């Protein structure tokens, strides 16, 4: 039986050049979008026995990119990610629970800014496709919303008209191809 599990479980590496780790957060009345450009990870995926699957991801905090260099520089400081002391954001799954069809709840430990919290990442397996060179790519998507203050990212500025410059909720979107 353990031989069948070993065969059924695929060890996949995230293909960074065809994947995206993106986010959006309210800024004033609109939303600012950004992404992290340097990340890596492995997915141990068992489609037949999803509970045997595992996910491990590392995101380099300094790779934050909001298309505004001055803002990105500020986000790297101690006001936000403090990349000198906390260079990486990490996610390590502790369980995978099938929901319906090809959707899963991936429970795991998310560490940002030195703070680790357990989160449930709702994920979808979109299938397997071959690229033009014949490489099989497993495609996944996930999305969740976090409160940045839960991870010690509390900097803000009060507005003259009331309210604050930066919203607390951050929507994270993952689009992953793994090979």
pLDDT digits (tens, 9 = 90+) for 28-67: 666 889 999 999 999 999 988 999 999 999 999 999 999 9
Record the pTM. 0.88
Say if 2 falls within a structural domain: no
Split at pLDDT 50, 70, 90, the class of 153 is confident
For residues 125 and 104, is the Cβ–Cβ distance under 8 A? yes
- Burial annotation 112-123 (CB, 10 A radius, 16+ → b, else e): bbeeeeeeebeb
* Helices and strands (H and E) in the chain: how many: 2, 11
For residues 121 and 104, is the Cβ–Cβ distance under 8 A? no
Domain count, the chain: 1
- H or E stretch at 30: strand 30-36
Say if 71 falls within a structural domain: yes
For residue 149, give the CATH number of its domain: 2.40.128.110
User: The domain containing residue 79 runs over which residues?
Assistant: 10-178
**Residue-wise pLDDT tens digits, 95-116:** 999 999 899 999 999 999 999 9
Q: Is 135 helix (H, G, I), strand (E, B) or coil?
A: coil
Distance of alpha carbon 135 from alpha carbon 126, whole angstroms: 16
Token output for 126: 């979109």
Split at pLDDT 50, 70, 90, the class of 158 is low
Say if 1 falls within a structural domain: no
Say if 5 falls within a structural domain: no
Say if 160 falls within a structural domain: yes
Quote the percentage of the chain above a pLDDT of 70. 88
């Amino acid at each position: 039986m353990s031989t069948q599990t070993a065969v059924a479980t695929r060890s996949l590496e995230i293909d960074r050049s065809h994947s995206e780790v993106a986010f959006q957060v309210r800024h004033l009345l609109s939303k600012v979008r950004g992404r992290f450009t340097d990340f890596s990870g492995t997915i141990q995926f068992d489609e037949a026995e999803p509970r045997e699957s595992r996910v491990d991801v590392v995101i380099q905090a300094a790779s934050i990119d909001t298309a505004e260099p001055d803002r990105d520089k500020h986000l790297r400081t101690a006001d936000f990610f403090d990349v000198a002391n906390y260079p990486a954001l990490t996610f390590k799954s502790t369980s995978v629970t099938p929901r319906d069809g090809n959707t899963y709840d991936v429970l795991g430990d998310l560490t940002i800014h030195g703070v680790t919290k357990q989160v449930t990442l709702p994920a979808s397996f979109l299938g397997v496709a071959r690229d033009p060179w014949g490489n099989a790519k497993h495609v996944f998507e996930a999305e969740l919303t976090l409160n940045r203050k839960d991870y010690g990212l509390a900097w803000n500025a009060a507005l003259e008209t009331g309210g604050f410059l930066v919203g607390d909720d951050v929507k994270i979107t993952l689009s992953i191809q793994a090979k």
